[in-house]
Amino acid sequence: MAKEVSQVAEKLVRPQVAAMDEILGKPFKLLDDGFIRVVDYMGSDESIVQAARVSYGKGTKKVHEDRGLIRYLMRHRHSTPFEMCEIKFHVRVPMDCWRQWIRHRTANVNEYSTRYSIAIDAAQATAPDEWRLQAKGNRQGSAGFADAETGERFSFSEARLHEFSREIYEERLTAGIAREQARKDLPLSTYTEAYWKIDLHNLLHFLELRMDSHAQYEIRCYAEVIGQEILRHWCPLTWEAFVDYRLNAQPLTGLEMELIREINAGNRDKVRELAVRNGWLPADPEAPVKRHRERDEFEAKLELLKLEKPW
């Protein structure tokens, strides 16, 4: 009986990753006063393959077989085994960036409360060369930067705003105004802190969206640190598969696959017919071609594949 208990205890040893133990509690600095650090983690690549093979019983597998299984799971989006791993972060992030972050509702969150505590005396400052211009083709994105003179002007006014709003906030506190009301005019650039715990499957979804080049720069900074500096060391086989099958992959729609088949067959008339039928191109060949987001996305994929546009 004692022998059986000993064997069970041996099997239940907590998976440890030396590279993760080295960075536990270490803050990775971001933006001007932000950071992210790992508070705790559970599981590893081995936990994923163990969960996936639970029905196979006893037996040992080589590393290359573990790699192959993880890549299969990622390729076919079998998500449950990845949910066996969890990680908890402590983050300091500007409130406007946190608003996007918190939309990922598949996590456990406990945020610093300015109802109970005095707001963190720090706000993200924008350097003169960091003011981005509104993208003309994307209502929620940016493209390019403001000129130096404009940048200097806005950085100066931003500093004045931060200073004044903090003065008003502290004046209210001194006068005995409730913290929950005194905070209401603090800028969204004010830093907040939170503990954020999430399983690996949902973390990968977060990274797929927030590491994308179209994601807002500030949250992309945090996502890239999570991916490159943390996940890559925590679950290297999973990270490798994620980069191959998610980050660097390009999904094709049914229409896009049909178009590529016709392009390869040299059927230019059929290609144009499909494009017109789906509203990508005007029926009149002489009419001006208006911007079409889905067509633009397809053209970007053709460029990645080194294929010429068929129209």
Write the pLDDT tens digit of every residue in 69-126.
999 999 999 999 999 999 999 999 999 999 999 999 999 999 999 999 999 999 999 9
Residues 6 or more apart whose Cβ sits within 8 Å of residue 251 = none
Angle of helix 254-264 versus helix 293-304 axis, rounded to 10:
50
Percent of the chain at pLDDT above 70?
Answer: 93
- At 15 the pLDDT is 86
CA distances from residue 262 to 9, 105, 218, 271 in whole angstroms, order as listed:
60, 42, 41, 6
- Name the residue ranges covered by the structural domains of the chain: 14-120+191-247, 128-185, 254-304
For domain 14-120+191-247, which architecture applies? 2-Layer Sandwich (3.30)
- At 168 the pLDDT is 98
Can 232 be counted among the known catalytic residues? Answer: no
Q: Name the residue type at position 46.
A: E
What six digits make up the tokens of 77? 């989006």
Mean pLDDT of 291-300: 95
Residues 6 or more apart whose Cβ sits within 8 Å of residue 1 = none
CB 166 within 8 A of CB 125: no
Q: Given 75, 210, 268, 293, which residue is catalytic?
A: 210
* pLDDT band of 14, cuts 50, 70, 90: confident
Mean pLDDT of 235-252: 97
* pLDDT band of 141, cuts 50, 70, 90: confident
Percent of the chain at pLDDT above 90?
Answer: 87
CA nearest to 210, candidates 26, 17, 36, 20: 36
What stretches of 2-127 adopt beta strand conformation (E)? 28-30, 34-42, 86-94, 108-111
